[in-house]
């Protein structure tokens, strides 16, 4: 049972436009969410996170939105740059007692930003 | 070191041989994860260590796979009697797991079984 789902395996956008990457989760115990970026032949690197007490977190060109009622989060990149081309992974965890804090990842979305 | 270190970076082995992959987490990080990424696939969870708790082995694909973490630090992932389908990049990550901090990944070990 896949608890974190990224239903779009790939996304292609033009440089300068907005990239929107989506993620859905099924476990209502998840209360902390993260986005990772992965270039080929490298390990994933942390990008941005959001706690369930917020519905938005912004860091420069990157904004993560969380809709708890829909169990949905999204990553917006504005403006998109060719260097943003990578695989983006959504991850979730529960910080509540007994959860043991394990990160659960989605399968990733390959973003291609065309010059 | 400053980051998660994995060795070797590349490993080519013959089918049926055993392999050991090593992960040195960031000092002080209590949580350690192993994932693998097969060609064209996402991150597949293998095993999770958290402090002195029993590890979560729910992602190990078969009994040929095992992992241990000695002294709460270095971890070794062992694959016995390797098969061609074991070929993948094996990624290790660690985190401090206090207040929802992020996990930091190593560069991975690319395993090729021929």
The per-residue pLDDT for range A41-72, each reduced to its tens digit, is 889 999 999 999 999 999 999 999 999 999 99
- Check if B109 contacts A (Cβ < 8 Å): no
Contacts A32 to B, Cβ<8 Å:
100
The reply to whether residue B45 touches residue A46, judged by beta carbons under 8 angstroms, is no
Consecutive 10-residue runs of chain B (114 residues): their mean pLDDT?
90 98 93 89 88 89 95 93 97 77 90 97
Among B86, B84, B93, CA closest to B29: B93
- The reported pLDDT for the residue numbered A21 is 98
Q: Are B5 and B104 in contact (CB under 8 A)?
A: no
Q: Tally Cβ neighbours within 10 Å of residue A87.
A: 21
| B-chain residue closest to A95, CA distance | B100
The reply to whether residue B97 touches residue A101, judged by beta carbons under 8 angstroms, is yes
Q: How many CB pairs under 8 A join A and B?
A: 59
Contacts B97 to A, Cβ<8 Å:
101
Q: Are A12 and A75 in contact (CB under 8 A)?
A: no
Q: Are strands B10-13 and B109-113 parallel, antiparallel or unpaired?
A: parallel
Averaged pLDDT for residues A89-100? 77
- Check if B43 contacts A (Cβ < 8 Å): yes
Adjacent-strand bridge partners of B50: B31
């Amino acid at each position: 049972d896949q608890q974190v789902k990224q239903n779009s395996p790939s996304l292609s956008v033009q440089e300068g436009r907005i990239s929107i990457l989506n993620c859905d989760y099924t476990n209502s115990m998840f209360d902390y969410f993260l986005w990772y970026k992965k270039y080929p032949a490298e390990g994933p690197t942390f990008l941005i996170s959001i706690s369930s007490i917020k519905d938005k977190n912004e860091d420069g060109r990157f904004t993560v939105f969380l809709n708890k009622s829909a169990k949905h989060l999204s990553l917006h990149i504005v403006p998109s740059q060719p260097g943003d081309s990578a695989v983006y992974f959504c991850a979730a965890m529960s910080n509540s007692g007994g959860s043991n804090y394990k990160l659960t990842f989605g399968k990733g979305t390959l973003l291609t930003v065309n010059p | 070191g400053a980051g998660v270190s994995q060795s070797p970076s590349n490993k080519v082995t013959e089918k049926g041989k055993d392999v050991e992959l090593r992960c040195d987490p960031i000092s002080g990080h209590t949580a350690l994860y192993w994932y693998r990424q097969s060609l064209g696939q996402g991150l597949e969870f293998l095993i999770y260590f958290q402090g002195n708790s029993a590890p979560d082995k729910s992602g190990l694909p078969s009994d040929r796979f095992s992992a241990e973490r000695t002294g709460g630090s270095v971890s070794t992932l062992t694959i016995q009697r390797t098969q061609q389908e074991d070929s993948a990049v094996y990624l290790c990550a660690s985190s401090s797991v206090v207040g929802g901090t992020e996990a930091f990944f190593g560069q991975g070990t690319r395993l090729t079984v021929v």
